[in-house]
Amino acid sequence: MSVLDTSTGSKPTGSDGRPDGGPDARAEDRDPRTGTRAALQGGKGARVEVRGAHKSYWDLEVLRGVDLTVEPGTVTAVLGPSGSGKSTLLRTINHLEALDRGAVAIDGEIIGYDLRGDLLVELPEKKVLAQRTRVGMVFQQFHLFGHMTALQNVAEAPRRALGVPKREALARAQELLEVVGLGAKADAYPRRLSGGQQQRVAIARALALRPQVLLFDEPTSALDPELVEEVLSVIRELSRAGTTLLIVTHEVHFARDVADQVVFMDGGRIVEQGTPAQVIDAPRHERTRGFLQRIHAG
Amino acid sequence: MEGAPVTLTARQAASRTLRSSGADADASAPDRAPAASSLDALGDEGIARLRIAPAHRPVRRIVVAVLGALVLLALVLIVLNPRWEWNVVASWFLARSIIRGLLETLKLTVLAGVLGFGLGLVLALMRLSGSRLAAGLSWTFSWIFRSTPLLVQMLIWFNLGYLYDRIVIGIPMTDLTLFDERTSTLMTPLIAAVLGLGLHQAAYASELIRGGILSVDAGQVEAASALGIPARHRHLRIVLPQAMRAILPTAFNEVIGLVKGTAIVYVIAHAELFFTVQLIYGRTQQVLPMLMVATLWYIVITSLLSIAQYYIERHFAKGAVRTLPPTPLQRLRANLGAKGRDRTEVHA
C-alpha cells in the first residue's frame, strides 16, 4: 500500500536497542522470511488464554463463560453483533475490565491477579501496570492524548512506564511513526490529523512498548470508508511480524485475509470458532450465518 | 423491473441538463459578453490591482458611534467633575504607605492562592480517588469550609488564642513536649489571614479542579492505563493538562476574586491595601478619592492577571484547537505587515 511504501525509503534511525533482538535482527531492516521491517516487530508473540470468563454489569451479563486460546504469533479476529461482549472480552485481557469469574493468562502468567491456592488475589496497581506494558491496545476512538504531538504520544509510555530516557524514547518514536508512514507528521497535534492518521499514530503508540500481544478494538469503525485501508494495511503488516494479535472488527473480508482464527460471539458467549474458511465461508451456526448475511448486505 | 425506467429517465434528465446548460451558455453569450470582456479589458495588471473591500455595515457604524459617544460622556462626567478630586488620587497613588499596603495585598494573594489551589488539587484528587475514606474527608472539608462565612473563619483563626491558650505538640500523658507556644504569639494577623483565605479558597478550588478533571474524556485515562503509565503520571501528565482548559477561566475568576477578597482582612487589622486606605481617609476625610486609589490598583492587578490568563489559556489550548489564536503581538505584526505589503505594491 502507498501508505507503507512512503516509509520504506527512510531507514530507521538510531540503534534499535531491543533487549531481545540478536545481532542479525539489527543487520538489516527487513526480516528476509516475512519481509517485515524490524521496527514493526514488537516483543516475541505470547500465548493468550481466557478461561471461564464471566462478567456482569449489575444485572446485565456481558460475558457468560468465554474460553479462548490464541497461539503465540497468530492473528485472531473476533466478530459479532454489538453488545455481544467482544469489546469487553478484549478489555479483560489487559485487565482494563476485571472479571467476576474466570481468568486470563498471557504466557501462563495470570493477568491482574496472584494465584494463591484457590484464591485469585488482586495484584497491586504497580504490578498490573507492568503486565499491561506487555499488551498493547488500540481503541475505536483512538484516544490519542490531545495535548501532545504525535511524537510525544508515542514516546510517553516508554518514558513514564518503562523509564526510557527522553532522547531514546523520542528517537524510537520517530522511527515508529516512519514505519506507519507518518514520519513527517511527528509534530502535529492529533486534532490536525485525519482519522486514519490518528489511528496509525495510536498503533505506533501501542507498538512503542514492544508488546507481545496487541489488542485492536474495532480499529476502523470510527473511520471514513476511504481511510480504512491505510489502517488495515498497517495491521496486515503487523500480522506478519510475529506479535500475537486480537482484532475485534466488522471488516469480514479483512478478517478472512489476515486471521488464522476467527471467533464469532453472541450474547456473551463464543458461538463458533475456527479458521476463516470454516467460520466465514461455511458457518455452521444459524446466528453466525444471519450475522454474516446482514454484514454482506450492508 | 421498476428500477430500470427510473434510472433511465434520471440519466436522460441529466444528459438533457448537461446539453441544455451548454445551450443556455451559448444563448446568453451575447448578454454576458460585456461583463466577460470588461474583466478581459482590465488585463493582467488591472486584475493585479484589484483589492477586496469590506462590506458596508451601516447599523454597525451607528452602534459604534452611539457607544463611542456614551464612553466619551462617561469620561467627561468622571474626569471633569472636581468632586472626584483626581489631584488627591494622584498625590496618594504612589505614596509609600499605599505601596506598602499593595505589596501586603499581593503577598496575601500569593500565599492564600498557593495554599488554596495546592490544597484544592489534593482535595480534588482525594475526592476522585477510589478510596472512600479520602473522598469522605475531602467532601467534609469542602462542606465545612464552604458553609461557614469567610468573615467568621477569619475571626475564629485570629481569636484562636481566646479559645485555646497555648498550642502544644508532644506525647500525651508524658512530659515530653516538642513544641509549646502561646497561640496569640503564633497567630499573627498575617497567619490568620492566610489560613482564613487559603482554606476557604481550597474548598472552592477543589470543586473547580474536580470539575475540570471530570470534563476530560474517560478514554484518555483508559488509554494511559492500557499503556501501563503509572497513576501519578496519568494524573499530572495526561489528565490535568487537558483539564486545565476547563479549570483556567474559573480559576482566574477565583484568583481575581481573591485579590479583592483580601480586603476582608481589615477586620483583623492587617495593613493591606484596603485597610491602609481606610486609615488614611479616616484621618483626611477624603473618602472617595482614597477609595479610587485602591480601586485603580485593583484594576491594575486584575489587568495584569487577565493578560497572564490569555497567554496561559493559549498555552493549554494547544492540541485542543486546530489553530491557536494569535497573540496580540502577532496580530499587530500581521496588520503592520499587510499594510507594508500594500504600500510596496502601490509604489511598484
Nearest-CA residue of chain A relative to B321? A191
Say whether A147 and B241 touch across the interface (CB within 8 A): yes
- pLDDT above 50 (res B296): yes
Does A197 contact B at CB distance below 8 Å? no
Q: Which amino acid is at B306?
A: S
Nearest-CA residue of chain B relative to A161? B229
pLDDT tens digit string along B47-100? Answer: 677 777 677 788 888 999 999 999 999 999 988 888 889 999 999 999 999 999
Q: For residue B339, what pLDDT band results from cuts at 50, 70 and 90?
A: low
Chain A CB contacts of B321 below 8 Å: 191
Residue pair B245/B298 in contact by the 8 Å Cβ criterion:
no
Does B233 contact A at CB distance below 8 Å? yes
Say whether B227 and A209 touch across the interface (CB within 8 A): yes
Classify residue A234 by burial, with Cβ atoms within 10 Å: 0-12, 13-18, 19+. Answer: buried
Q: Is A274 left (phi over 0), alpha (psi -120 to 50) or beta?
A: left
Say whether A156 and B322 touch across the interface (CB within 8 A): no
Residue A164 host element (H or E) = none
State pTM to two decimals: 0.72
Of B222, B230, B318, the CB nearest to A161: B230
User: Minimal CA–CA distance to B272: which of B66, B157, B107?
Assistant: B107
Taken in order of first residue, the domains within chain A and their CATH numbers are 45-134+213-298 (3.40.50.300), 142-210 (no CATH)
Say whether B223 and A135 touch across the interface (CB within 8 A): no
The alpha-carbon gap from A162 to the nearest alpha carbon of chain B, in Å, equals 8
ipTM entry: 0.71
* Sign of the dihedral defined by the CA atoms of residues A141, A143, A146, A149, in that order: negative
Q: Which amino acid is at A162?
A: L
Nearest-CA residue of chain A relative to B225? A129
Q: What angle do CA A203, A209, A213 make, to 5 degrees?
A: 70
Measured CA to CA, the distance from residue B143 to residue B163 in angstroms comes to 23
As a whole number, mean pLDDT of residues B317-327 equals 77
Q: B273-284 vs B287-317: helix axis angle to the nearest 10?
A: 160
Of A139, A147, A189, the CB nearest to B219: A139
Q: What angle do CA A104, A105, A108 make, to 5 degrees?
A: 155
Chain A CB contacts of B241 below 8 Å: 147
In a mutational test of the A interface, the residue from B220, B225, B227 whose CB has the highest number of chain A CBs within 10 Å is: B227
> What is chain B's Cα-based Rg?
33
The alpha-carbon gap from A277 to the nearest alpha carbon of chain B, in Å, equals 33
Pick the CATH number of B96-319 from 2.40.10.10, 1.10.3720.10, 3.40.630.180, 1.20.210.10: 1.10.3720.10
Bridge partners, A269 (sequence order)? A266
One digit per residue, the tens of pLDDT, for chain A of length 298 reads 333 333 333 333 334 433 443 333 333 344 444 444 555 555 688 999 999 999 998 888 999 999 999 999 999 999 999 889 999 999 999 999 999 989 999 998 999 998 888 888 889 888 999 999 999 999 999 999 999 999 999 999 999 999 999 999 999 999 999 999 999 999 999 999 999 999 999 999 999 999 999 999 999 999 998 899 999 999 999 988 889 999 999 999 999 989 999 999 999 999 999 999 999 999 999 999 999 988 776 5
